Amino acid sequence: MPKVLIADALAPRAAELLIEGGMKVETRLKMKPEELTAALRDGGYDAILVRSDTKLTRAVLEQAQGLELIVRAGVGLDNVDVAAAQERGIHVTNTPAATTTSVAELVIGLMLGLARRIPAADRSVRAGQWERKAFMGRELRDATLGVLGLGRIGGEVARIAMAMGMRVIAYDPYMTTAQMAAQNVTAQSIEQVLHDADVLTIHLPLTDETANIINRERMLTMTRGAFIINAARGGVLDEAALADMLREGQIGGAALDVYESEPPKPDNPLLTLANADPNINIIFTPHIGASTNEGQVTAAIQAAQIVLDFFKQH
Distance in Å from the first CA to the final CA of the chain: 12
State mean pLDDT over 83-108. Answer: 96
pLDDT-derived band at 19, boundaries 50, 70, 90: very high
CATH of 100-284, one of 3.40.220.10, 3.40.50.720, 2.40.110.10, 3.40.720.10: 3.40.50.720
pLDDT-derived band at 314, boundaries 50, 70, 90: confident
Please report the pLDDT score of residue 75 as a whole number.
85
State mean pLDDT over 131-146. Answer: 96
The CA distance from 207 to 287, in Å, is: 19
List CB contacts of 209: < 8 A, sequence separation 6 or more. none
Please report the pLDDT score of residue 3 as a whole number.
97
Task: Please list the active-site residues.
Answer: 233, 262, 287
Q: What is the CATH number of domain 3-96+293-313?
A: 3.40.50.720
pLDDT at 73 over 90: yes
Burial class (CB in 10 A: 0-12, 13-18, 19+), 262: exposed
Residue range(s) in the chain whose domain bears CATH number 3.40.50.720: 3-96+293-313, 100-284
State mean pLDDT over 120-133. Answer: 95
pLDDT-derived band at 78, boundaries 50, 70, 90: confident
